[in-house]
Structure 1
Amino acid sequence: MIALLGAFALAAVHQYLFFDHDPGVSFPLFIALLYVYLFHDWKDRLKETTGFGWFLFAVIVLLSLTYGLFHNPIFRALNLLAIPSLVFVHLAVLRGANRIPWWDVGIVGEALAHLIPRSLLQIPRLFRVLRISLFRRLDSERQKTATKVAIGLVFATPLLLVVIPLLASADGAFNRLLSGVPGWISRFSLGELFGRVLWILVFGILFAIYFWSFAKPPRRRKAASQADVMPLLKPSIDSVVLTTLLLAVNAVYVLFVAIQFTYLFGAWDGLLPDGTTYAEYARRGFGELVAVSAINFALLIVSLTFSGTRRGLLNTLLYILVVCSGVMLYSAYIRLAMYEEAYGYTYIRFLVHAFMIYLAFLLLIAALRIRTSLVPMAKCFIVLSLAAYTLVNYVGMDRLIAENNLSRFEETGRIDRYYLNKLSADAIPTLVDFAVKREDAEMKSLLKADLGELNRQSRDWRSFNLSVYSAKKAVQTMNQP
């Protein structure tokens, strides 16, 4: 019963924080309360948490804090998917019925199993707990009567919610009677009140059955002895087949890389293919090169995973694949940098840069794995991916885009003020500094228009965002004589 009451209390808080309010500081606050609820029965068992468990918890906390610190629309949308997904995986790692290692892909299935089928199996328990808690002191006859009364109240509630406002409109005396209702209740319209109640009921049930799916995990079967277990044969690729594949692929890559070196280090000095302009060379192919590098990375992972015992020639071919992929990534990086120099910096170009750097680190880990099998490749990939995603949330993408475009303006005199004005509130203080120092009337006009939009955003503490607050203060300071 405590778990059920806690679930509905958490749902009431969830409704208060997020109903008709944008997430702000309310998001990390709710994450903290959610973890208090989901682990309130652990008491002294927190010491069982592994290092990765604490690391994943830190990632979840840091990502939730971004709703109060930054205002980038891309990450605000992505994190609405990423944070719940990480919470589900975190719960599966710490409290899952089956102790699946966190680096095993099966942990995703374990998280989904608790989220859907095992939670749905707890619905009968919900009604059982309600029945026992409400009617345990009544005999069978009174239980039947109380059940019928409860059913009648369930049907009467929505009817009364419709009838009472109609009667209040029809009769002044009845309306004056209702005016004695506390002000905080009278603020709610019929639709809003119904929505809030439904919100609490739905989320309260969801929180309760999800918690119960971890409370009593199914009995685990006794581990079989080594003698009872047949050795599992790990699938492998024949070394001759793999060597032939890598020889063919690497031959093409080495030729391509040799040609790239002709232009890669001379493009900045004007050494370009015949008939190709600076902008065309910069624009052409960086997307394809990134795609090929990603394909190479997949080929590398398959080779490392299913090659069995690797000999000298195979390792050499894998090293060549890594080097060629690295050169392709560098070529794509340079081309994109040249393209940005010609056309400016945007969200998508920033994210492509970040992905290329991330892919380069993955290639480095793969190269270390070629050197020694002691490198835990899956663990390194997972930790690096989580750390990279968290870092790109905190690096300040909008501010960097604004700064780079303003630096480009200093060198070329070209600037797209309207695109810069579309950046989130994270970039506004940087743009205000530029407008004030340069006495840029057009930029000032655009920023003053932004102030109206910033003022229209909710001032409620639940939606407070430090970036929006700083942007508003910066624009107000700019307007002062």
Structure 2
Amino acid sequence: MVTNIGKKDWIFLVLCLALGILAEESFFHGQIGISYIVFVVAFYLVFYWRSHRFSFSHQRFGYLVLCCIWLLSASYFLNDNMLFYALNTMVIPGLIIFHLVLITSPKSFRWSQPAFVIFLLTRLLEAIKYNAAFAAYLGKSINRGVDEEKLLIWKKVLIGVVISIPVLAVVLRLLITADTEFERIVGGIPDWFRVVDGESMFRLIIILIYTVAFFGFIQVLFQKQIKVIKQDIIAAQSQKLDSIIAITVLFLINTVYVLFVLVQFKYFFSGTLQGDLTYAEYARKGFFELLFVTMINLSIVIAVVTMGDRGKKGLKMVSQIMLTILVLSSAVMLCSAFLRMGLYEEAYGFTFTRVLVHSFMIFLAVIFTYTLVKIWVEKLSLFHFYFITSLLYYTAITVIDLDQIVVKENLNRYEQSGKIDIQYLNSLSGTGVLGLIELYERDQTLPGLQTILLERQKEARTQSTSWESYNLKKEQAKKKLQSLSI
């Protein structure tokens, strides 16, 4: 695979080493903050330097994915939500790999096909093979012109040193225990040879891993394009759901859903509780209905729309009507769950999870609306819309800071009802602290609030932050705490 390494390749290897150093510095020194967007900017600068003569494909969609990557990376600087902090450590690298493979794939290749997954995984496998071949190439280059006999001697000496290390460790330990003077003399010897400690060795290993990963993967992207196996697509297209079977299943499911909606429609939208249910039980029940039933319904609709054999014109019309009823029934359940969650928030206040669930309901409403249109307009692509909408939704809820919405709504609720959970606001880190400061400025007599702010103020005055962990929300909270008079 590696037959000729030019000057540009060596320069690129050095740049990958610099990226490896930056990655280790950005991600392994405390909490990630502004360092993520700094690394992403540097990474793409190196990538575009390496590929400035390459003709990219799928550029419009590629720019959309790139913008989402940059916004998600910037969220580490703008917000400090721990859920998205953890998720983005996996989502952003996955999107970067997807983006690079996408824009370097053949122009005629459709990314929405199943074969694209095979193409992407093959690229990753080729990167591993390239690094192995490059290591072998380096080994041959180093050994070239070296006396084989001398090389063999040095290899044997190295083997002898490796074998003697555990023996020497045991012997020295016994001798040091036996004689105090010998311990004093020998005890300081390891310090003479201590060039790197364990932490430095770990950092070096991390840097090398990043270096070879960047170098091998990007180098492979510009190699001759591999042939993509498309048998899986042909096999998938040949497998169709029988139209009569699909209609029968849809009819039975719709019968249950229509009966359920008719029976329960009154209390679904009455805003009152049924029986002896509490607000918590009422809301949770609605949420699980949303989570399971609507997702099951959506899966059924997708399976029938994408794999169903509509058959003759009459059967096709019946299938479309059955799918439409299924989608509309799901919409009723979605509205019910949305209203229930609103009741729960009105009674117990707003939390990150409740606001996230509300946003996910709106996202599902958009998905179901498009799916309903797709049932009657067959030329539309479900996967294109689902992927792009999901990407935009996830990017939006990450960047807009749902914690800020939670704080704002809870403060508004406090103005109306006098109820607020200050301990929960305190758990929202920088955004929550800013909300507590605003609450303190409105009402300094709220029980427990002064104690929390005093503890936070003490932390702000003693805590130091490295550049990697710099976060806008935390810095704003820190400055307000330091200037706050309690």
How high is the TM-score relative to the length of structure 2? Answer: 0.82
Which runs of structure 2 are paired with 1:13-92 in the superposition (5 Å)? Answer: 13-45=22-54, 48-92=57-101
State the distance in 2 between where 1:311 and 1:192 align: 66
1:126 aligns with 2:134: yes
User: Conserved in 2, the CA contact under 8 Å of 1:432 and 1:447?
Assistant: yes
Alignment-derived partner of residue 181 in structure 1: none
Distance of aligned partners of 1:12 and 1:286 in 2 relative to their CA distance in 1, 3 Å threshold: closer
Distance of aligned partners of 1:477 and 1:97 in 2 relative to their CA distance in 1, 3 Å threshold: same
1:211 aligns with 2:212: no
Which runs of structure 2 are paired with 1:461-480 in the superposition (5 Å)? Answer: 461-479=467-485
Alignment-derived partner of residue 340 in structure 1: 345
1:308 aligns with 2:305: no
State the distance in 1 between where 2:414 and 2:106 align: 58
SS in 1 for 2:50: coil
User: Conserved in 1, the CA contact under 8 Å of 2:286 and 2:336?
Assistant: no
Distance of aligned partners of 1:450 and 1:112 in 2 relative to their CA distance in 1, 3 Å threshold: farther
SS in 2 for 1:51: helix
Of 114, 117, 124, the residue aligned with 1:108 is 117
Aligned length: 455
State the distance in 2 between where 1:392 and 1:343 align: 23
1:258 aligns with 2:262: yes
1:328 aligns with 2:333: yes
> What's the RMSD between the two structures over aligned residues?
3.8
State the distance in 2 between where 1:414 and 1:241 align: 55
Structure 1 position 374, deviation (Å): 2.4
1:169-203 Cα distance to aligned partner (Å, 9 max, x none): 979xx99x99xxxxxxx9x9722322222222232
SS in 2 for 1:121: helix
State the distance in 2 between where 1:199 and 1:231 align: 42
1:235 aligns with 2:239: yes
Alignment-derived partner of residue 403 in structure 2: 398
Listed as ranges, the gaps of 5+ residues in structure 2 are: 1-9, 170-182
User: Conserved in 2, the CA contact under 8 Å of 1:96 and 1:217?
Assistant: no
SS in 1 for 2:450: helix
1:368-395 Cα distance to aligned partner (Å, 9 max, x none): 1012112221101110000000000022
1:195 aligns with 2:202: yes
Of 415, 418, 423, the residue aligned with 1:413 is 418
Structure 1 position 291, deviation (Å): 1.4
Distance of aligned partners of 1:290 and 1:245 in 2 relative to their CA distance in 1, 3 Å threshold: same
Alignment-derived partner of residue 364 in structure 1: 369
State the distance in 1 between where 2:200 and 2:279 align: 62
SS in 2 for 1:43: coil
User: Conserved in 2, the CA contact under 8 Å of 1:135 and 1:143?
Assistant: no
SS in 2 for 1:294: helix
Moved more, 191-200 or 385-394: 191-200
Q: Give, as a single letter, the amino acid of the residue that structure 2 aligns with 1:21.
A: G
How high is the TM-score relative to the length of structure 1? Answer: 0.83
Structure 1 position 315, deviation (Å): 1.2
1:197-252 Cα distance to aligned partner (Å, 9 max, x none): 2222232223222233323246548999xxxx999853222222111111111111
Distance of aligned partners of 1:413 and 1:91 in 2 relative to their CA distance in 1, 3 Å threshold: same
Structure 1 position 364, deviation (Å): 0.8
User: Conserved in 1, the CA contact under 8 Å of 2:20 and 2:208?
Assistant: yes
SS in 2 for 1:368: helix
Structure 1 position 257, deviation (Å): 1.4
1:355 aligns with 2:360: yes
1:242-265 Cα distance to aligned partner (Å, 9 max, x none): 111111111111122123321233
Structure 1 position 420, deviation (Å): 1.4
Structure 1 position 303, deviation (Å): 1.3
Alignment-derived partner of residue 293 in structure 2: 292
SS in 2 for 1:414: coil
Q: Give, as a single letter, the amino acid of the residue that structure 2 aligns with 1:462.
A: E
State the distance in 1 between where 2:330 and 2:413 align: 30
Alignment-derived partner of residue 182 in structure 1: none
State the distance in 2 between where 1:48 and 1:248 align: 46
User: Conserved in 1, the CA contact under 8 Å of 2:58 and 2:102?
Assistant: no
Structure 1 position 34, deviation (Å): 1.9
Distance of aligned partners of 1:320 and 1:92 in 2 relative to their CA distance in 1, 3 Å threshold: same
SS in 2 for 1:45: coil
